[in-house]
Structure 1
Amino acid sequence: MNVSLQNIDKVSALLTVKLEKADYQEKVDKSLKSFRQKAQIPGFRKGMVPMSLVKKMYGKSVVAEEVNKLLSESVYNYIQDNKINMLGEPLPNEDKQPEIDFDTMEEFEFLFDIALAPEFKAEVSADDKVAYYTIEVTDDMVENQVKAYTQRTGKYDKVDVYEDNDMLKGLLAELDEEGNTKEGGIQVEGAVMMPSYMKNDEQKAVFNGAKVNDVLVFNPSTAWDGNAAELASLLKIEKEAAEQMKSNFSFQVEEVTRFVAGELNQEIFDQVFGEGAVKSEEEFRAKIKENIAAQFVVDSDYKFLIDTRKVMMEKVGKLEFPDALLKRIMRLNNPDKDEKFVDDNYDKSIEELTWHLIKEQLVKANDIKVEQEDVTNMAKEATRAQFAQYGMMSIPDDILENYAKEMLKKKESVEGLVNRAVETKLAAALKPQVTLENKNVSLEEFNKMFE
């Protein structure tokens, strides 16, 4: 067996693999022997089929299988042993590859086109200036989060007089043109409404200062701007019927309830951050501010990597790539797409490939490694962030472990977590090496950068 690599130019090469009969014959004989032992052919006892018949029946397919196995191993080992920095997979050469005939040939030659990564050096230094945006945590952000926590522990109290955002419960009755209860008309007992959600201000005003036992007249269609789904839900009728409903209705108030937010006390402190972790409102607000700031650091680091990418792409400049080979690979990877798809998307794919190669060098230069523990911790952080959206800050370790295990069962989730772990470590490694141009921005200003 002989494997050799001939460079065509700086970014492409021809890999040649020559196989002789001696390279594969032993494995072929072993495979045929195994076939003979298992073969069940009429007229012969199991294991007693003549080898000549076995060769006649299976010889060609066995040779083809063993040659292909040996070919794959040879190509893989050569690339690994010689540290060939290859892009994509080896492609069978379309011009010079001799025709293969497993019936008549004993020696084989296979030719592969290899796309080589361009040689360049990606380094960062203090000369590289990269913006770093720190998102300001405002008092309003903290207050909104506090309100979210107190809302979750709030309750509904019965009150005497309606105010905006209160909930009303009562009897709905359809009226005729004279304003009397319509005979055979729609009536809904225990109907629940929140007038503050009405679209029409005049109809909304009908309920201002309403008390228990008051009877009010309004037009549901006008109130909700003809929204059939809203009307159907309120009047307990089909959506089609709701579209035609234009009648006035009376509403006899039976109950007025008001949502009262929960008290900001030790019970809430313990629910959010764990028992005894926070002991005063001042500490509670400070802890919330700290957590919001920590969440923003993740966003700031993400933007930092985007800006570092721009700096490094400009610094490295335009790289040479084997365009013809990479377009072949792109076509093979997208069999359902036409030539136009390749032409339209090739430049963007090269841009992504360039950054991938730059990032690969930076990861290696900074000795960044992602262990299983890193991936597990990233899964826990993702889970913790999901719970935080619902105001649950203190999650027991066993729950985080279980959620993380479920996440790690999905291949696509693992790939995403590995990438996040790499980028988190890379951002931490690069920040001290470049010159950061620190800028404080509002959340609105930060978000506009991604529009």
Structure 2
Amino acid sequence: MNITRENIDDLNAVLKVDIAKDDYNEKVQKVLKDYRKSANIPGFRKGHVPMGLVQKQYGKAVLVDEVNKLLQDSLQKYLTEEKLDVLGNPLPKDQEDLNWDAGDYTFEFELGLAPKFEVDLQPKKAITSYTIVVDDKMVDNQITTIQKQYGKITSKQEVENDDEVSGSFVNEEAEFEKKTMFEVAKLKGKANTSAFVGAKVGDTVTVSTKGLFEEAGDYRSFLGLSEEEAKEKNLEVSFTIEEVNRREPADLDQELFDKLYGPGVITSVTELKEKIKEEGENQFKQQSDQQLLNDVTERLIENTEFDLPAEFLKKWIQRSGEKELTFEEAVEEYERSEKGLRYQLIEGKIIADNELQITFEEIKAYAKEMIKAQMAQFGQNDPKDEELEGIAARILSNQDEVKRLSEQLMNKKLLDFFKENVKLKEKEVTFDEFVKEVYN
């Protein structure tokens, strides 16, 4: 057997595979002999069917099967030995006139080659790395929320300024519906407040999404839209009041502190504020880190230029699924997936060039840390290592979990790498400022 490669250009090549009868005949004959031993053909005892009959009945199918196996094994071995970085899989060229009686065969395969490129981690314009701080206003709002959450709830029939209402915002024409609960005090402007105040359970109120709430974050919480989306859509929505409640706030005393954090952990309002600030900034760090990862990804795709074997990839997408697509469908799928493919190549190069690969021991250690954190949430702050090992072993016996943890750990490694190597501009913002800059 002989394999030769012709490079069409930097991104496309054709493999020519010559297979002689000696390459496959021994395996074909062995399979046919095994068939002869087990074949049940009327008029012949098992194991005594003439070889010519077995050859006539099964020979062509066995030949095709063995040649295809040989092709796949040989192609994989060739790609590995030649260290060819290919996209997708080799695509066989159409050979409608292939004569399976010839004995010697020639097959051709199209290859899509991965492009060569460099990644510039120092863009001219620095990427913003946000640090979200919890300001006094947010702390005070959180304390007010806690007091209401742990306070006494009184059901009412008529809405007043300090009440909360439950129901759904609906616009049937736009197929928009959002079930929610919000405080009347969060509405923006006299017109919106007046629409609710005085309404009763069962009444329907009509308002517009544009300018409905005071705070930018409230649009996502109560409408499921960003402030900008609510403004652009400017939907007229109806809200049927299902429930009205008045919450009498709980006192800021030791009983409340103990309910929140356990006996004696917090002993004053000052300590409570410090704890809320610490927890909030830890939570926001995850959000700002994810945004940084998203922003770096977008910038790398934008600034890293290289060509792809587009026509090959469209053909490969067309043929590689369970059901063959039309060429038009394949083109649409390629256009949807091109950006993701580009980042996969960029990410792969960064990982390879900087040796960011993950070991199984790292995955296990990461799993144990996650388990410890989850156990701490339920008051188990000092689990034994044997217990952690046992839980981790059960988790890592599931390949889907291993894949999920590997992706999380790689994202963490990439994030740490980007923080150290990408040109960044630090910016301290409140959460509301972060929402306005990132989501609007």
| Pair 55,429 (structure 1): closer, same or farther in 2 beyond 3 Å | same
The offset of 1:166, in angstroms, is: 7.3
CA distance in 2, matches of 1:446, 1:375: 35
Q: 1:10 deviation in Å?
A: 0.8
1:391-410 alignment runs, 5 A limit: 394=378
User: CA offsets, 1:412-451, max 9 Å, x none?
Assistant: x875654443222101112112332111223233234234
1:61 corresponding residue in structure 2 = 61
Which residue of the other structure, out of 309, 322, 326, is the alignment partner of 1:322? 309
The worse-fitting range, judged by mean Cα deviation, of 119-128 and 74-83 is 119-128
In structure 2, what is the Cα distance between the partners aligned to 1:203 and 1:30? 84
Distance in 1 separating the partners of 2:378 and 2:112: 51
Deviations 1:346-375 (A, max 9, x none): 556434332221111112223223455648
- Is 1:432 matched up with 2:420? yes
Q: Which amino acid aligns with 2:439?
A: F
- The answer on whether the counterparts of 2:139 and 2:273 sit within 8 Å (CA) in structure 1 is yes
The SS at the match of 2:348 is helix
The answer for the alignment partner of 1:86 in structure 2 is 86
Q: Which amino acid in structure 1 is aligned with residue 97 of structure 2?
A: E
Greater shift after overlay, 371-380 or 289-298? 371-380
Q: Is the 8 A contact 2:132 2:429 kept in 1?
A: yes
DSSP 3-state at the match of 2:121: coil
Q: Report the alpha carbon displacement of residue 116 of structure 1 after superposing the two structures with TM.
A: 0.5
Q: Which has the greater radius of gyration?
A: 1
Retained in 2: the 8 A contact 1:379–1:404?
Answer: no
Deviation string 1:241-298 (CA, Å, 9 cap, x unpaired) is: xxxxxxxxxxxxxxx9964444556666566556766555434432332232222222
Runs of 5+ unmatched residues, structure 1: 168-194, 207-218, 235-255
- Please tell me whether the aligned partners of residues 88 and 329 of structure 1 are also in contact (alpha carbons under 8 angstroms): yes
CA distance in 1, matches of 2:69, 2:247: 71
**Following the alignment from structure 1 to structure 2, what is the Cα–Cα distance between the partners of residues 267 and 8?**
77
Query: Is residue 111 from structure 1 mapped to residue 130 from structure 2 by the alignment?
Result: no
Identity between Structure 1 and Structure 2 (%) = 31
Q: How many Å apart are 1:112 and its aligned residue?
A: 0.5
Deviation, 1:90, is 0.9
After TM superposition, the score normalised by the length of structure 2 is 0.68
Determine which of 285, 289, 296 is the counterpart of 2:284. 296
Structure 2 residue runs of 5 or longer lacking an equivalent are 165-182, 186-191, 207-236
Of the three residues 400, 415, 431, the one matched with 1:443 is 431
How many residue pairs match? The answer is 377
**Counterpart of 1:34 in 2: which secondary structure?**
helix
- What is residue 170 of structure 2 aligned with on the other side? none
Q: Which of these residues, 97, 100, 104, is aligned with residue 99 of structure 1?
A: 97
Cα drift, residue 137 of structure 1: 1.7
> Structure 1 residues 62 and 279, CA, compared in 2 at 3 Å: closer, same or farther?
farther
C-alpha separation between the residues in 1 aligned to 2:391 and 2:148? 28
Letter of the 1:6 counterpart: E
The CA deviation at 1:303 is 2.6
Distance apart, 1:30 and its partner CA? 2.7
Q: Larger deviation: 424-433 or 347-356?
A: 347-356
Deviation of 1:43 (Å): 3.0
Compute the displacement of 1:140 (Å): 3.3
Structure 1 residue 306 and structure 2 residue 310: aligned? no
Q: Provide the C-alpha distance between the structure 1 equivalents of 2:379 and 2:69, rounded to a whole number of angstroms.
A: 51
**Does the 8 A contact of 1:273 with 1:394 survive in 2?**
no
Map 1:236-275 to 2 at 5 A.
Answer: 259-264=247-252
Residue pair 1:137, 1:293 contacting (<8 A) in 2 also: yes
Matched, 1:285 2:292: no
3-state secondary structure, aligned to 1:115: strand
How far apart are residue 63 of structure 1 and its match? 1.4
Give per-residue Cα distances to partners, 1:47-84, cap 9 Å, x unaligned: 33333322222121111111111211111121122221
- Residue by residue over 1:291-328, the C-alpha shift from the partner in whole angstroms, topping out at 9 and shown as x without a partner, is 322222222223323332354345433x1222221221
Partner of 1:137: 134
1:178-257 → structure 2 map (5 Å cutoff) = 205=198, 223-225=203-205
Preserved CA contact (<8 Å) 2:162 2:184: yes
2:27 maps to 1:27 = yes
